[in-house]
Amino acid sequence: MVTIYDLAKKLGLSPPTISKALNDQPDISESTKEKVRKLAEELGYTPNSSARGLITKKNWLIGMIYEEEHLGLDVEHPLFAGIMNSFKARIERAGYELLIISRVLGNKKLSYLEHCRYRQVDGILILNSTIDNPEVLHVIHSEFPIVSANIVYPHVCTVTSDNKEPSMQAVRYLYSLGQRRIAFIAGPSEYSSSPAVERLEGYILGLHEIGLEYDPELVVYGHHWNVESGYNAMKDLQQRKIHYTAIYCAADVLALGVMKYCQENDIHIPDELSLIGFDDSQWASYSHPPLTTFRQNRQVIGELAAETLLKKINGEDVDERICVPVDFIERQTCKKIDEFYLTRLGKGSTM
Amino acid sequence: MVTIYDLAKKLGLSPPTISKALNDQPDISESTKEKVRKLAEELGYTPNSSARGLITKKNWLIGMIYEEEHLGLDVEHPLFAGIMNSFKARIERAGYELLIISRVLGNKKLSYLEHCRYRQVDGILILNSTIDNPEVLHVIHSEFPIVSANIVYPHVCTVTSDNKEPSMQAVRYLYSLGQRRIAFIAGPSEYSSSPAVERLEGYILGLHEIGLEYDPELVVYGHHWNVESGYNAMKDLQQRKIHYTAIYCAADVLALGVMKYCQENDIHIPDELSLIGFDDSQWASYSHPPLTTFRQNRQVIGELAAETLLKKINGEDVDERICVPVDFIERQTCKKIDEFYLTRLGKGSTM
DNA sequence: CTGAAAGCGCTTACAG
DNA sequence: CTGAAAGCGCTTACAG
């Protein structure tokens, strides 16, 4: 390993001069800088982040806290890779690298917080955690600059998709198609997941806005954010023997479960049932029929999270909550209500 | 920040004693260790990785080189998150953390290799790169312990799915259904992607094994690993006016493009055309009809990559190529050949 | 413009 | 069982 001392010796200069030349300090002559850079290149010198970080207290490292196994998420969370990629690209441009924080170190278990201190990260991104994770709560009350993506924590700067307005829009849209009995398949209620909560709020708000009554019988919770939960929720809904002609789902995967149920039970979408999802997953345009849904803008979420964190690191003020608009993607799972089919779904009567 | 000196002062001991106590060295009395640990806990002492790494030359860091924008992959590569998760979990158990290597540092551009040296990583995982990326080639010829996942580099230990045998199996399976004219939609040929190459080899080998003639007219290359490429490949195939009754696709996304084309052009799968994919993407069981495909075992790939890298770091011998078996998932896109439809597809004659 | 001195927080022989 | 000395590779005042 080539060090600054090797360069110093070869050039007959002192280590501090080498250091300053390499860092392009103003008090070093251009000719010296030239010589130093040339030799450094020749010998393949690379600085050592540990030595540098030890003395400067700056490590150019962002810690990412990312919980993969919870909420019953499928291994691949639809937002994870996209947000991570754009976040990474943005912090990279500012000179930071991304370290995935774990909870084990050697044979010792460390908390996230201890780990962040151990690595002396300059800032922390919390991605897809749960709101009541005590490990994460410790981090949140720490001295580090922090930004959360997707999940809202009190007093923590958070970047998420707008969840309320699109939910209201979903209701409005269905209403405009003549739908009056609009069911909602919500996200899991056991876990405190802010998107789940906010989408439900938006649904209720949307009904109020339009003047439709909110009927709790029309709301069913998916146990997890996955297809099976959507399937089971739909089954549950059917067993309630109530009347409805449309379903808004808090996630595409839930909607996919509904579609599966409908296929098996010969319920025709959109003729008999209108359906809206949330996420615009990769497959949403290829489902049968293509799913009407809301596209979350992963790239913007990641970028804004990065920019906000960078600001915090630099001591600038930032907003506590940043909402990223969502795009409504109209495909083919919704239809103007059709009197012909009106009576088929559910044996209830209230209309 | 609490340091070892603070602990030493408070306890009237020397820093080395504190260090040794904290590291549970045998030459320190149990009572001293007890005292030290207690105070460390009280004061919230956390070691400093830079100081430790600087002197021990061991940083408990694995660098991950991961290229997201190439090959025309969709943002979310179907394997990426799964492999990364299980790789991370496995190295964590051994005490390592995952650092995503970038190419920018501050305002300087560093090569991957320089970056790895800068951070003094203990080993490197190469995920989803291209075979001819010069940046990566530098890394490969370096002093670091390296493992590659998904992409084969000469003389680098690589963990991938078995690509050949399943491709042969696809041909065999289709043959057993009476299919004799089996087309192949290959992965992009412009990029040197070993999975693309190996799956093509497997297809040809499969034909030979069975005694079917290899007809280059039946092979078309997708420009990218995405749906659109599959769609265009299918269009291309149709325009060739040759006869075929089945298609094996080198990826699910390509197969999805084929399905889209068939829907638009009123070609019925599987009655008129049998179809097989590769990957078992999230949506594969929900496509219409559900796609017959091969499931890549992300978890096993990630774990084996981690274990192999750990072995290399510890100086143990490892195999250069590790193939992870793939599961054949039989769904509903293949069917015994139906004489009734035999003449519809393609206007060619050779059967 | 250049360099001697000190120090970041830790660990490793080695001496006692 | 404990500690004094040296050093990992760098940077930061400060002196010249």
Does residue B108 share a domain with residue B124?
yes
> Which pLDDT belongs to residue B110?
78
Residues from chain B that touch A77, judged by Cβ atoms under 8 A, are 81
Is the predicted pLDDT of residue A339 greater than 60, yes or no?
yes
3-state helix, strand, coil in chain A (%, to 5): 40, 15, 40
Does residue B111 share a domain with residue B15?
no
Would the CB atoms of A98 and B102 count as touching at under 8 Å?
yes
Gap from B176 CA to chain A (nearest CA, Å): 29
Mutate to test the interface with A, among B52, B62, B76, B225 (most CBs of A within 10 A): B76
Which amino acid would we find at residue A153? Y
> Which pLDDT belongs to residue A347?
47
How far apart CA A106 and CA B95 sit, in angstroms, is: 4
Does residue A178 share a domain with residue A150?
no
Q: Chain A residue with minimal CA distance to B68?
A: A85
How many angstroms separate the Cα of A31 from the Cα of each of A27, A28, A79?
Answer: 12, 8, 51
pLDDT digits (tens, 9 = 90+) for A137-168: 999 999 899 999 988 888 999 999 999 999 99
Give the mean pLDDT of chain A: 90
Instruction: Give the total number of structural domains in chain A.
Output: 3
Cα distance between the two ends of chain A: 78
> Which pLDDT belongs to residue A318?
93
Does residue B238 share a domain with residue B262?
yes
How far apart CA B259 and CA B287 sit, in angstroms, is: 9
Would the CB atoms of B260 and A85 count as touching at under 8 Å?
no
pLDDT digits (tens, 9 = 90+) for A233-262: 999 999 999 999 999 999 999 999 999 999
Q: Is the CB of B54 under 7 A from strand C?
A: yes
> Which pLDDT belongs to residue B350?
43
Does residue A84 share a domain with residue A17?
no
> Which pLDDT belongs to residue A73?
46
> Which pLDDT belongs to residue B1?
85
- B53 CA to D8 C1', in Å? 8
What are the residues whose beta carbons fall under 8 Å from the beta carbon of A218, sequence distance 6 or more?
Answer: A181, A182, A183, A184, A242, A244
Gap from A207 CA to chain B (nearest CA, Å): 31
The predicted model gives A14-26 an average pLDDT of 93
pLDDT digits (tens, 9 = 90+) for B280-314: 988 888 888 999 999 999 999 999 999 999 999 99
Contact in structure between B324 and B159 (CB atoms under 8 Å): yes
- A106 CA to C10 C1', in Å? 17
DSSP calls for A24-64: T-TTS-HHHHHHHHHHHHHHT----HHHHHHHHS---EEEE
The predicted model gives A80-95 an average pLDDT of 90
Comparing CA positions, the residue from B172, B149, B135, B340 lying closest to residue B248 is B172
Q: Chain A residue with minimal CA distance to B59?
A: A50
Torsion sign (Cα): B292, B293, B298, B300: positive
Gap from B48 CA to chain A (nearest CA, Å): 5
Gap from A231 CA to chain B (nearest CA, Å): 12
Q: Chain A residue with minimal CA distance to B287?
A: A287
Which amino acid would we find at residue B217? E
3-state helix, strand, coil in chain B (%, to 5): 40, 15, 40
Residues from chain B that touch A282, judged by Cβ atoms under 8 A, are 74, 76, 281-283
- A9 CA to D9 C1', in Å? 15
Of A155 and A75, the structure prediction assigns the larger pLDDT to A155
Q: What's B37's domain CATH number? A: 1.10.260.40
Contact in structure between A222 and A254 (CB atoms under 8 Å): yes
Q: Report residue A185 as tokens.
A: 């398949």
Domain hosting A219: range is: 164-295+329-347
Residues from chain B that touch A78, judged by Cβ atoms under 8 A, are 76
A with B: how many residue pairs have Cβ under 8 Å apart?
A: 140
Closest residue (CA to C1') to nucleotide D9 in the complex: A51
Would the CB atoms of A104 and B88 count as touching at under 8 Å?
no
Q: Is the CB of B60 under 7 A from strand C?
A: no
Residues from chain A that touch B107, judged by Cβ atoms under 8 A, are 95
Would the CB atoms of B283 and A288 count as touching at under 8 Å?
no
Of B334 and A347, the structure prediction assigns the larger pLDDT to B334
Would the CB atoms of B104 and A118 count as touching at under 8 Å?
no
Does residue B193 share a domain with residue B285?
yes
Gap from A41 CA to chain B (nearest CA, Å): 11
Cis peptide before A270 (omega within 30 of 0): yes
> Which pLDDT belongs to residue B80?
83
Residues from chain A that touch B128, judged by Cβ atoms under 8 A, are none
Does residue B216 share a domain with residue B192?
yes
Would the CB atoms of A97 and B98 count as touching at under 8 Å?
no
> Which pLDDT belongs to residue A128?
77
Does residue B252 share a domain with residue B174?
yes
How far apart CA A111 and CA A98 sit, in angstroms, is: 18
| Residue A35 binned pLDDT confidence (cut-offs 50, 70, 90) | very high
Does residue B221 share a domain with residue B98?
no
Q: Is the CB of A7 under 7 A from strand C?
A: no
pLDDT digits (tens, 9 = 90+) for A202-231: 999 999 999 999 999 999 999 988 899 999
Would the CB atoms of A95 and B101 count as touching at under 8 Å?
no
Does residue B341 share a domain with residue B225?
yes
- B56 CA to C12 C1', in Å? 9
Q: Chain B residue with minimal CA distance to A299?
A: B75
Q: Write the DSSP symbol of residue B57.
A: S
Closest residue (CA to C1') to nucleotide C3 in the complex: A14
> Which pLDDT belongs to residue A350?
43
Residues from chain A that touch B82, judged by Cβ atoms under 8 A, are 75-76
pLDDT over 70 for what percent of chain B?
Answer: 91
> Which pLDDT belongs to residue A33?
93
The predicted model gives A59-83 an average pLDDT of 75
pLDDT digits (tens, 9 = 90+) for A102-148: 877 666 777 899 999 999 999 999 997 777 788 899 999 998 999 99
Q: Is the CB of A295 under 7 A from strand C?
A: no
Is the predicted pLDDT of residue A72 greater than 80, yes or no?
no
Does residue A71 share a domain with residue A190?
no
Would the CB atoms of B95 and A104 count as touching at under 8 Å?
yes
Would the CB atoms of A92 and B101 count as touching at under 8 Å?
no
Q: Report residue B333 as tokens.
A: 């896109």
Is the predicted pLDDT of residue A62 greater than 80, yes or no?
yes
DSSP E strand boundaries for chain A: 61-66, 97-100, 104-105, 108-109, 123-127, 146-149, 157-161, 182-186, 219-221, 246-249, 274-276, 293-295, 321-324, 327-329
> Which pLDDT belongs to residue B32?
92
Q: Is the CB of B5 under 7 A from strand C?
A: yes
> Which pLDDT belongs to residue A349?
42
Residues from chain B that touch A287, judged by Cβ atoms under 8 A, are 283, 286-288
Is the predicted pLDDT of residue A343 greater than 70, yes or no?
no
Chain C positions within 7 A of any protein Cβ atom are 1-13
Gap from B77 CA to chain A (nearest CA, Å): 8
Q: Show the DSSP H helices in chain B as ranges.
A: 4-11, 15-22, 30-43, 49-56, 80-93, 112-119, 134-140, 164-176, 194-210, 227-239, 252-264, 298-313
Rounded to 10 degrees, the C-alpha dihedral A140/A145/A150/A156 comes to: 50
Output residues with Cβ under 7 Å from nucleic strand D: A 1, 3-5, 15-16, 19-20, 22-23, 45-48, 51-52, 54-56; B 12-17, 20, 27-32, 51, 54-55
Q: Show the DSSP H helices in A44-147 as ranges.
A: 49-56, 80-93, 112-119, 134-140
Cis peptide before B289 (omega within 30 of 0): yes
- B72 CA to D1 C1', in Å? 64
Q: What's B338's domain CATH number? A: 3.40.50.2300
Does residue A237 share a domain with residue A135?
no
pLDDT digits (tens, 9 = 90+) for B200-221: 999 999 999 999 999 999 999 9
How far apart CA B153 and CA B136 sit, in angstroms, is: 10
Which of A13, A40, A56 is the C-terminal boundary of a domain? A56
Would the CB atoms of A59 and B50 count as touching at under 8 Å?
yes
What are the phi and psi torsion angles at B58 (to 5°)? -125, 125
The predicted model gives A8-26 an average pLDDT of 93
Kindly give the parts of chain B with pLDDT less than 50.
Answer: 71-73, 347-351
How far apart CA B323 and CA B304 sit, in angstroms, is: 10
